[in-house]
Amino acid sequence: MNTLSHQDLSDLIGLVYDSALETNQWSSLQRRIHGLFPGFLSMCQTFDGPKVIGAYSPGNFVAQPLQSVYETLTDDGRYEAPDDMTESFRQITRNDTPAPGAPRISRNVMTDEELRNSALYKNGLKHMGCSHWTGVIFAVSSSRYATLNFFEIEHAEPAPDYDGLTKLLRLLSPHIVRGARIARALYMAKEVAETYKGFLDAIALPLIIIDAGGVLQMTNAAGQRLIDRMSLFACSPVNRIAMIEDHDNTDFQRALRDADRDREPRGLRVDLMEGPVSLCITPFSPSMMTNIKSEQDVFECGQLYAVFVGTMGETAVNTGLLQDVFGLTGREAEVCSALVAGQSPARIAEAQNRAEKTIRNQIQAVHDKVGVSSTRELSEALSVFRTVGAMFDGDDPHLFEAQKLPGP
C-alpha cells in the first residue's frame, strides 16, 4: 500500500464523512483514492440478492474509453443485468451474507481464469475493460444492499495496486459505513422533523428504528442509551437488534413479523428486574428525501419499523427508562419511582436505609433533571411513558398475548 502518514490517514477518514454527505455521494473520496491508487474504475452498485439494481457513476473523472460503460445505463442510472450475469454473481456470492462494512474481494473467491470464464466477465466486466474488484458494503436493508466498488482496469499502466487498495479500504470501511448511516439519519431526521415537528427527540420515550430484519437504522438519544445499557436489547456487530433473553426475542420477532404482515402496530410486554416495560412496534415509512440513488435503491422500497419503549397501565415506570430519558442516576431513578408511587421522603429514606436529607437532595436533583418543581408535575411528566401501553387494549388477542397463560 502507498505509504500514508498518520496525518494523511486522518485527513482521509475526515474526507469519508464529508463525502458521505455530498449530493453525489462518495465522489470526493473516490477522487482521492483514484489519486492514491490509479488504474481503477469505481462506482456505487446496488443489489437485491444477486440481482443488480443500479450502477452509478461517481463523478466526471472517468477517462475514455471507460466512459462508455456509463452511456449504456438508463437515464436514471439503472442497469439491468442479463440473467446469466445474475446467476454468475449468485454463484460467486453463494456463501456470502451481506453485512455493513463487509469487504467484497473477488480474488478471495476466484482465480483469474475462473473470472474470465464467468458470464459476469464475458457480458459485463470485459466490456468495461475491467477484471477483479475490491470494495465495501456500506448499506444493507433485508436482501438489498449497496457497495462502493473499485474495478481493476486491465492493461493499466502502472499496474493497479490491488492489495494496497484492499488494505486501505479495510481501514476505511467502518468509517464508510458510519458516514453512510450519519447521512441517512440526517435525511430521515429531516423528514421526521418536517412531518412530526421534531417528534424524534422531543418525545420523552426511547425510540429505535429498525428494518424488517431487525437491523438498526437510527435512534433518538434515549433509545441509544437504552441500547447501550444492554438490559433490554443487544446490538450485534452487524447492527442487528435482538432482545437479551431468547424467549423475549422470540416474542419480539413474532410481533415484528405480524406488524410487517398486517402493516399495523403490535404490542409486547417484557418483564425486567428493574421493572416491566411495554413495546410498541409500528410501521414507519420514510420517503428518503435524497438525491443519492444508492440510498433510494436500498431503503426507499423497504419498510422500516419504529419501536417505542414505555410502560402500561398503573405499572411503576421502569427505573432504567428513567435513566435513559432523563439522565437520572440509579439512585435518583429509584427515588423518582418511589416518589411517583406515593411514598413520602421519610418513607423512602426508611425503605432504603438512608438519611432523609439525602433523599430530599436527590428529589431536588430529579426535579432539576426532569424540569419540574413538584411531585404533581413529576407525575404528569412521567405519564408519557404510559402512552405506549395506552395504544393497546389489553383484551386484544393480538397484543401482549405472549404473557397470557392458558386456562386450566
Q: What is the pLDDT of residues 53-81, one digit of tens each?
A: 877 765 433 443 344 444 445 555 555 56
**Tell me, what's the pLDDT at 365?**
94
Averaged pLDDT, 166-177: 93
Sheet holding 266-270, edge to edge: 216-219, 207-211, 304-310, 277-284, 266-270
Is 90 among the domain residues? yes
Cβ(206)–Cβ(226) under 8 Å?
A: yes
Is 241 among the domain residues? yes
Question: Same domain, yes or no, for 286 and 320?
Answer: yes
Mean pLDDT estimate for the chain? 80
DSSP labels for 283-299? EE------S-HHHIIII
Is 55 among the domain residues? yes
Judge whether residue 22 has pLDDT over 90. no
Averaged pLDDT, 237-245: 90
**Tell me, what's the pLDDT at 402?**
38
Distance CA 206, CA 204 (A): 7
Question: Same domain, yes or no, for 227 and 172?
Answer: no
**CATH number of the domain enclosing 48:** 3.30.450
What domain range is 165 assigned to? Answer: 6-183
Question: Same domain, yes or no, for 232 and 357?
Answer: yes
Question: Same domain, yes or no, for 231 and 133?
Answer: no
Q: What is the dihedral of CA 395, 398, 402, 406, to 10 degrees?
A: 60
Is 408 among the domain residues? no
Averaged pLDDT, 226-231: 91
Angle subtended at Cα 280 by Cα 377 and Cα 236, rounded to the nearest 5 degrees: 110
Question: Same domain, yes or no, for 61 and 99?
Answer: yes
The pair phi, psi for residue 173, each rounded to 5°, is -55, -45
Question: Same domain, yes or no, for 90 and 120?
Answer: yes
Tens of pLDDT, residue by residue over 274-332, are 888 888 888 876 555 566 778 777 876 567 888 989 887 666 788 899 999 888 999 99
**Tell me, what's the pLDDT at 138?**
93
Collect all residues with Cβ–Cβ distance below 8 Å to 203 and sequence separation of at least 6.
220, 384
Q: Give the domain-ending residue among 159, 183, 207.
A: 183
Is 191 among the domain residues? no
Question: Same domain, yes or no, for 158 and 289?
Answer: no
Question: Same domain, yes or no, for 140 and 18?
Answer: yes
Is 190 among the domain residues? no
Cell of 247: 424467549
Least confident of 64-73, 78-87, 145-154, 169-178: 64-73
Question: Same domain, yes or no, for 82 and 218?
Answer: no
Question: Same domain, yes or no, for 172 and 268?
Answer: no
CA atoms within a 13 Å half-sphere pointing along the CA-CB vector of 243: 22
DSSP labels for 135-201? EEEEEEETTEEEEEEEEEETT-SSPP-HHHHHHHHHHHHHHHHHHHHHHHHHHHHHHHHHHHSSHHH
When divided into structural domains, the chain yields a total of 2
Burial 225-254 (b: 16+ CB within 10 A, else e): bbbeeebbbebeebbbbebeeeebbebbee
Task: Please state the pTM of the whole predicted model.
Answer: 0.55
Averaged pLDDT, 200-221: 77
**Tell me, what's the pLDDT at 305?**
87
Q: Give the domain-ending residue among 183, 214, 231.
A: 183
Judge whether residue 204 has pLDDT over 70. no
pLDDT above 90: percentage of residues in the chain: 27
Distance CA 119, CA 127 (A): 12
Averaged pLDDT, 376-403: 63
CB atoms inside a 10 Å sphere around CB 35: 10
Q: How confident is the model at residue 242 (pLDDT cuts 50, 70, 90)?
A: very high
Is 379 among the domain residues? yes
Q: Which position has the higher pLDDT, 46 or 80? A: 46
